[in-house]
Structure 1
Amino acid sequence: MERTYVMLKPDAILKKLAGRIIDRIESKGYRIVDLKIMNLDKNILREHYAHVVEQPFYPSMESYMMSGPVWAMIVEGDNAVQGIRMLMGATKFEDALPGTIRGD
C-alpha cells in the first residue's frame, strides 16, 4: 500500500473539475485519506517549488498558484505513486496524452 500527494491547482477548482478528478482517482481504486483546501502564500510556494524558484518562469507560476485555492490530497492504494502519475498525465500540458486528466 502506497501513499502519494496530489494537488488540484486553481484552474481545476475554477473550472469546477475537482469532483470529476476525484471520481477518476476513486474509480481506479485509490482512496483519498486526507484532503485540505488551502490558499497558498509565497513562503509555502517557495518551499514547495524550491527546485525551480530561480527559473525565469517562477514568478508567473507563483502568481498563478496564489490566484485561488488548491486542494491538497493524500491518495492511498496499491502502486499509488506510479498509478497516479499515469492517471494525471505528463507534467507539461502539451505533452499529455488523450485519456489522462491533463490531456482531456
Structure 2
Amino acid sequence: MTTTLRSAVIKKHYVGVLQGTSVTHYSLYYLPNGSATFTGIEVFTGQYQASEGSISLLHEGLFEHGEAKGALTVIEGSGTEQLKTISGTAHFCAGEQKEHELHTHFSL
C-alpha cells in the first residue's frame, strides 16, 4: 500500500459575512484510491460582521471524488483587535470551481 504526504499553501479572498484575505498551510495524506485526508491552519485578516481583526482557523477534512469537505474551528485565543473574543466553527464543500461557500457558526 502506497501513501503520499504532500503540503500546499492556498491564498483566499473572502466576500460576504467574512471580508478579507487569508493564507492556509495544508498537509495532505493521499491514499492509493486517490482520496486524501487533510489538516491545515488558516490565518484570516479582515472583517467578520463589520468587526475587524485577524483569526486563525484549524482545518480538518477529506478530499474524494473531486470534492473537498472540511470543518474549521477558530483557534482559541487567536483573535486580534475587534475579533479578540471570536469563537466557533465553520464548514465548506469545494469542488473544481474557484468560488465556494463557507458556512460560519461564529460568535463574538
Does the TM-score normalized on the shorter chain lie above 0.5? no
TM-score range, shorter chain: under 0.3
Tell me which protein shows more strand as a share of its residues: 2
TM score, norm. by length of structure 2: 0.24
TM score, norm. by length of structure 1: 0.24
